[in-house]
Amino acid sequence: MFEVTFQPSGRGKAQCPPDPAYPDGINVDCSLGKRSCMATLPYPAPECGMWFVHCTDCEMTIAITAAGRPDDVRTVRMACLARDGDTH
| Secondary structure (H, E, C), the chain | CEEEEEEECCCCCCCCCCCCCCCCCEEEEECCCCCEEEEECCCCCCCCEEEEEEECCCCCEEEEEECCCCCCEEEEEEECCCCCCCCC
Whether the Cβ atoms of residue 64 and residue 25 lie closer than 8 Å to each other: no
Please tell me the distance from the alpha carbon of residue 85 to that of residue 79, in angstroms, as a whole number: 11
Amino acid 48: pLDDT: 98
Sketch the domain layout of the chain as residue ranges. 2-78
Amino acid 83: pLDDT: 58
Q: Could you report the per-residue pLDDT of 29-43, keeping only the tens digit for each?
A: 999 999 999 999 999
Amino acid 82: pLDDT: 80
What tens-digit pLDDT sequence spans the chain (88 residues)?
A: 999 999 999 999 999 999 999 999 999 999 999 999 999 999 999 999 999 999 999 999 999 999 999 999 999 999 998 855 544 4
